[in-house]
Amino acid sequence: MKWRRLFSLRRWAHVFQRIFRYLASPQITIVDKLLFFIPVALYWVLPDVMPLVPIDDIGVTMLMMNWFVSRIERKYPGIEQN
């Protein structure tokens, strides 16, 4: 992932527009959705298990959102392109 793309407001607008559509879509398997939910939920519930990771809960969630949207767009190229 390129840093320029990570800090792009256009990219984050795209991520926030797509994340809820993808999570609610019946076309995406539950396994793919759990690849997003489980790490985020664990980090929100158990942040003290990883004390050396200096990223806040929302930072981990946003990085996982970016990864999830990128992964779904690669895996399901024809899904909801509007």
DSSP conformation letters of 45-72: H-GGGSTT----HHHHHHHHHHHHHHHH
Mean pLDDT in consecutive groups of 10 residues from the start of the chain, 82 residues: 66 86 90 90 74 71 88 85 54
Do residues 18 and 76 touch, judged by C-beta distance below 8 A?
Answer: no
Do residues 81 and 27 touch, judged by C-beta distance below 8 A?
Answer: no
The pLDDT of residue 55 is 67
Question: In which residue are the tokens 């792009």 written?
Answer: 8
Q: Whole-angstrom Cα distance, residue 21 to residue 61? A: 17
The pLDDT of residue 5 is 64
